[in-house]
Structure 1
Amino acid sequence: MRHTSLAIFCYFFGATLFAQGEKPDAPEKYELGADSMPMTGVPEGKVTKFTWTSHVFEGTVRDYYVYVPDQYDPVKATAVMVFQDGHAYVNKSGEYRVPVVFDNLIHKKELPPIIGIFVDPGHLGEPLPDSRWKANNRSFEYDTLSDQYSKLLLDEILPEVGKAYNLTTDPDQRAICGASSGGICAWTVAWERPDAFRKVLSHIGSFTNIRGGHNYQALIRKTEHKPIRVFLQDGDNDLNNAAGNWWLANLEMESSLTFAKYDVKAVWGHGAHNGNHGGAILPDSLRWLWRTTP
């Protein structure tokens, strides 16, 4: 027992030092780069807002946004990337500002043309809260380990968007992204439906015991390998509460994914539970996620 405890201590202590160096007293500051800023001569994609009442999550109402790049060709089936907490990712002046990054990287041909679908969590009752983070069905939808949220996307949202745009059905050309509970949700969708989504981007993912997410570390090791590519981001100033330690949980996820021979990349930092670090590295994260070579 003593040897096991020592081994666990050495693993986490060594992993932290290897990835981080000495831990600072305060979260590190991160700056957005040129690819996250509007550029002269780069065509802008169009963003349109919609509202949806779900049958999968009966009675819930949510907003969602659709980004269509200027390079969209209706003759060609177009790649798709879904974002949980869509309001945070679609904001052009926010931490992630995905439409701006998409515009720049698609224009430089570092990404294929991608239709972005930014889906907010569902809310029961009226009106929708001013802060979509406070939607009352968010945790149930995002933190639950089941295929229900994937059904919302595959049976409702994507078919609705597909009425107007030519969306690919190729799982290798579909990606999904989220932060915090949205990050574990992105992983759950691909885990449950690798026939539909095979690229996952998780920012400060909640792989902790909110609704059993801590079990993924063991499930990944004991389940037959699935064809999923995964990018993880977190910082050692992330949350530590009754549900678990986010930083250690993300380290465990990387270890399990590496053990099970997934195509995984992790970028660690000193950030807290926010989008500063994930936003700063978003262009490079997307380049890695959408690269054509394994």
Structure 2
Amino acid sequence: MKLITSSPSLALLLAALACPVGAATVAVNFGGTSFTAENIGAGENTATLDTVAGLDTPVWTNLDKDNNGSGILVTDGSNGFTVTYHRANGWSGGSQELTGSDASQQVFRGYLDDGDGGGSYANGDGYGVTLQLSGLSSYLSSVGASSYTLTVFLNTDQGEADAGLLDFELRQGLLSGGNIADLSLLQTVTPIVLGDGSEPTGVVGGIGGTGGVRGYATLSGLTENEITLAFAVNNGAHQRGSVSGFAITPVAVPEAASSLLGVFGSLLLLRRRRA
């Protein structure tokens, strides 16, 4: 008799059934209030970056990279979640040109700098940028989703693409005067490097030319209401963890999944009895 102890097929079925809900992806670009080339304007899109990072026509909000980030509200229609961020300072670098109306490069133009001190959470703690998201459970409920995908965009205006980008941490909970290390570590994330400053659109020129590094990371299946992303201080070897933006995509398992899972479970039992 063959005993079925695990079912990779079940995991594959669950993954196939999970899908984005009707709510749009909410994306945040860290730009500037005085230099519009850092922002994504009306009539502009990020089609090239959407294809690379797997986003579905995100709705972008520009937040000031020079604001210390206390309690900034990002909304999706009448529903929202709160974003709070710390950074050593705001910075700009890299290519910035539009390709037609494609503003993919401008996502990377301004970023939260990963130096220590300044407006970072705690001087000397080894973390340069912290990004906190809260109110996500209410947001998911309001759009009929059960989980979300978080996509983070990273950028630096120095170094070469083969130098890579520093890993960052996903931690549960929010900072409230304690140490970052006091928050439970959920996972350590290794970003995907897109290339140098001409990526992702292949545009050459702009401040910084093709120098620097572009990259992103995708965190799927998240359900936490409150999370903190912690990015290490640059290591002096052209590897950095500066953050240029992020996106939240709500995801749900369709109602039909319940009945399909029941059928799948019955088939597993039948197979086990016949084995």
TM-score (norm 1): 0.30
Which protein has greater RCO, CA pairs closer than 8 Å, 6+ apart?
A: 2
Bigger Rg, which one: 2
Larger helix percent:
1
Larger strand percent:
2
TM-score (norm 2): 0.31
